[in-house]
Amino acid sequence: MNPKTLTTLEYDKIKVMLAETAQSNLGRELVDRLRPLTQRAAVEAALQETTEARAILERGAQVPSQGLSDIRELAGKAERGGVIAPVDLLRVADCLRGCRELKRYMEGKRLVAPTLSRYAEAIVTFKALEDEIYQCVEGSRVASAASPKLSKIRREIQLTEERIQSKLQSFLAAAGNRDVLQESFVSVKGGRYALPVKAGQRHKVQGVVVDTSGSGMTVFIEPAAVRKLADELAVLRGVEEAEEYQVLVTLSGLVGAEARAILADLEVMAAYDFAFAKGRLSLAMRARPVDVNDEGFIQISGARHPLIREGAVPLDLVIGRRYRTLVITGPNTGGKTVALKTVGLLTLMAQSGLHVPAGEGTDLAVFEGVLADIGDAQSIEQSLSTFSSHIGQIAGVLREAGRSTLVLLDEVGTGTDPAEGAALAMAILEQLHEAGAVTLATTHYSDVKRLADLNPGFINGRMDFDRETLGPLYRLVMGEAGSSNAFWIAERLGIGPRVLARAREHLGARAGREPEKPVVRVKSDPAPAAAGLEPEEQNAVEASDAGTASAPRPDGDGRPKPRQWQVGDSVILQTIGQRGVVAELPNEKGEMVIFTRGKRVTVNHKRVTLLVAAEHLYPEDYDLRVALNSWPERKLMKDMGRKHVDGQRVIVEGKPE
C-alpha cells in the first residue's frame, strides 16, 4: 500500500484508536505493524478473528489479562546465562500464570470462537516453574523458604542484630551518656550500627566514627562494645548474599531452559491481545463485519466515517460492476471529500481485519493498491504550485493504477485554466477507466460531469447539503450530476444581489446561452423542411453549410437569427430527459444522430434542446472522437492507427463536397 495514501486517508489515526484498546506492549506492537492485507483469504481470516473476539466480549465475560507483560528481554537474558533479579522473576511467573489462565479460558470458548480457541492449543503451561518462583521470591527479595541454609543464616542474623540493639539501648539508657549524645536513638550507617554523638564530645565515647552529619555538629560512632558483634553480622550478611545469588542463578536457569517455549507463548498472547483490541474497537465504533470480494465491487450501505462523530448522514454507494468510475459533484460544503475518504478508509480498515461502521449488506473489494490525491498538495519547499503538486501525484497514480486498484481523486484537474483543467481531468479519468481501476473522483467541471452520459462504465453522483445551515449532509445521490450551488451559497453568506446578477450575466455570456426555445437551422430543401418544421421555424431556414458554427445575429427586423447545429453540441433529449452529444447533423428529414449513454440514437431535431454549444465545450484541437465514440471504438481506432488489424475497418461518413 502507498504510504502517502495511508497518511492522506488518516489510517494512522485508526491505529492509534486500536492501540489504546490493547492491554500490553505485545498487542500494541502488532498494532504498530498493522498494514492492509491484499489477499482475500487473509482478509477474511483477520475479519473472522475480530468477529469472534467481539462475540466473546459481548457476552460480558472478563478476558484474563492479569500479568500479561513483555518478558521477552528477561527470557532472552536467562537463555544467555544471565541472572534475573527477584522482582523480574515475579514478572515472569505472573506472565506464565496469565498464559495458563487464558489457555484454560479460551478452551471453554470453542463454540463461540472456534478460530481463536484453536490458538490456545499452542500455549505451553509451566505450572511447576510458576510455583517454584512464587515459593522462592517474596516481594523484592529471595524468600527465606528458598533454601534451608538461607533460612538458618537469616535466623542467625536476626539473633546477632538483637544482641547489638540490646547493647546500644543500654548505652543510651545510661545517665552518664546523655550529655554526649545529640539524639537518643540508634542509627544504621553503611550497614553499621552507630550512635549520634556531639562532635565536641566524641573523645568521651570509645569506638569508630562511621559517618558525620552535613553540618558537622554530629558524628556517628560505632561503640567498641558492639564492634565484634558487628563484624560477625557483616560475615553473616555476606553468606546470606551468596546464598540468595545461588537461588537466583537456579531460578534463572530454569527460566532459560524454557525460554524458547516461553517466547512462543508470548507470540500467542500478543495475537490474543491484538484480536481482543480489534473486538473492543468494533464495539466502541458500533462497527460490524463486512463481506469482501476480489472483483473490485464496492457496496456501502449506511456507512459513517470512523473519525466523524454523531450528526452525519450515512453514506450509500455502489460501484465496480456495471460502472467502475464514479464522478461526484456538488457544492464545496457538500461533503464530497468526506465521501472519498470514507470509501478509502473503510476499504483500508476492512483489509486490515477491522470491522467498519457501516450497515448490513456492505460488501468491500480487496484491492492490491489504494491510491489517493486528496487535499491541498502545494509544496512551498519544492516551489510547486497546487496544480503542479497534484499533477505530480496523479502522474504516479496513472503509473501504478491497474485492475486491482482503488483510485480516489479530489477536485481532479483543478488549479489551472478551467477549459484545460476539465479536458485534462476527462483524459485522466478515461485513462484510469481503460486501465480497469475503480475510480472515485470529485469535480466542479461541467464537462467532467458529462462523461457519465457519454461513456459506459461511468456514473455521476451528487452530494446533498443543508441549504439552511450550509452544513454538509454527507448524503450521496447516485446517478445524478449535482450543481456547485455557488450562487446560492454566496447569497446565503452575504453576497449582494447586484454582484450575483452580474455573475449570472457573465456565466450566461461564457456559456453562450440561447433562448429558452432555440430556433434550429438545418441545411435542407424548402419543401422537405417545410414538412418537418413549425411555421415560425420555416421562416428561419436558410441554405448554409451544415456544421458551420455561427453566433446569433440580428435580422433586419432586429430579431436574433437562429443558430445552426454543430457536431459536438451538448443537448438534451426531451422525450427521455437524457443528455447527449450531436454526432450527425440533421438530414433532409430533420433527423439527427445523438450519442448518449454509449450508443447512437436518431431523433427529430425538434425533440432536442441545446444545452451548451460545441465552441464552449472543447479546447483547441480537441479530438471529438472522445465524445462521439464508445471506449471500445476509440480503442479500435487507436490500435488501427498503430498497426493493421485483420478483419477490422472503420468507415468515416461525411458529406461530399
Task: Say what the pLDDT of residue 31 is.
Answer: 96
Task: Say what the pLDDT of residue 529 is.
Answer: 33
Reference 390, options 351, 442, 437, 433; nearest CA is: 442
Question: What average pLDDT does this structure show over 243-249?
Answer: 96
474: left (phi over 0), alpha (psi -120 to 50) or beta: left
Residue 88 has pLDDT above 90, yes or no: yes
1-44 pLDDT, tens digit each: 788 999 999 999 999 999 999 999 999 999 999 999 999 999 99
Residues 182 and 209 in one domain: yes
Task: Say what the pLDDT of residue 550 is.
Answer: 36
CATH number of residue 335's parent domain: 3.40.50.300
Residues 327 and 462 in one domain: yes
In a domain, 464, yes or no: yes
Range name among 180-189, 511-520, 593-602 with the lowest pLDDT average: 511-520
C-alpha cell at 287: 462497527
Question: What average pLDDT does this structure show over 165-172?
Answer: 83
Q: What's the 3-state SS for 127-194? A: HHHHHHHHHHEECCEECHHHCHHHHHHHHHHHHHHHHHHHHHHHHHHCHHHCCCECCCCCEEECCEEE
Residue 134 has pLDDT above 70, yes or no: yes
Q: Angle between the 86-107 and 127-136 helix axes, to the nearest 10 degrees?
A: 150
Percent of the chain whose pLDDT exceeds 70: 79
Q: What is the pTM of this model?
A: 0.69
Of the three residues 248, 268, 285, the one that is the final residue of a domain is: 285
SS3 70: coil
Residues 84 and 186 in one domain: no
Task: Say what the pLDDT of residue 534 is.
Answer: 36
344 — pLDDT class (breaks 50, 70, 90): very high
In a domain, 530, yes or no: no
Which is more confident, 657 or 401? Answer: 401
Residues 280 and 296 in one domain: no
Residues in the chain: 657
Q: In what order do the strands lie in the sheet with 218-223?
A: 187-189, 192-198, 218-223, 207-212
Of the three residues 467, 492, 517, the one that is the final residue of a domain is: 492
In a domain, 98, yes or no: yes
Residues 302 and 264 in one domain: no
Task: Say what the pLDDT of residue 69 is.
Answer: 87
In a domain, 211, yes or no: yes
494-519 pLDDT, tens digit each: 888 888 787 777 766 655 544 333 33
What average pLDDT does the chain have? 81
Percent of the chain whose pLDDT exceeds 90: 42
Number of domains in the chain: 4
In a domain, 323, yes or no: yes
265 — pLDDT class (breaks 50, 70, 90): very high
Question: What average pLDDT does this structure show over 627-636?
Answer: 62
Residues 263 and 214 in one domain: no
Residue 369 has pLDDT above 60, yes or no: yes
Task: Say what the pLDDT of residue 506 is.
Answer: 72
Task: Say what the pLDDT of residue 553 is.
Answer: 44
User: Which residue range is the domain that position 265 belongs to?
Assistant: 3-126+258-285
CATH number of residue 120's parent domain: 1.10.1420.10
Range name among 110-114, 176-180, 373-377 with the lowest pLDDT average: 373-377
Residues 30 and 119 in one domain: yes
Spatial distance between the Cα atoms of 454 and 452, rounded to a whole number of angstroms: 6
In a domain, 111, yes or no: yes
Q: List C-alpha distances in Å: 271 to 42, 222, 267.
A: 15, 59, 6
CATH number of residue 588's parent domain: 2.30.30.30
SS3 586: coil
Reference 455, options 650, 648, 593, 632; nearest CA is: 632
Paired strand residues for 338 = none
In a domain, 207, yes or no: yes
In a domain, 515, yes or no: no
Residues 85 and 183 in one domain: no
Residues 488 and 570 in one domain: no
Task: Say what the pLDDT of residue 509 is.
Answer: 62
Residues 296 and 275 in one domain: no
657 — pLDDT class (breaks 50, 70, 90): very low
Residues 299 and 268 in one domain: no
Task: Say what the pLDDT of residue 384 is.
Answer: 46
Residue 311 has pLDDT above 90, yes or no: no
Task: Say what the pLDDT of residue 179 is.
Answer: 76
Q: Are 396 and 408 in contact (CB under 8 A)?
A: no
Residues 556 and 577 in one domain: yes
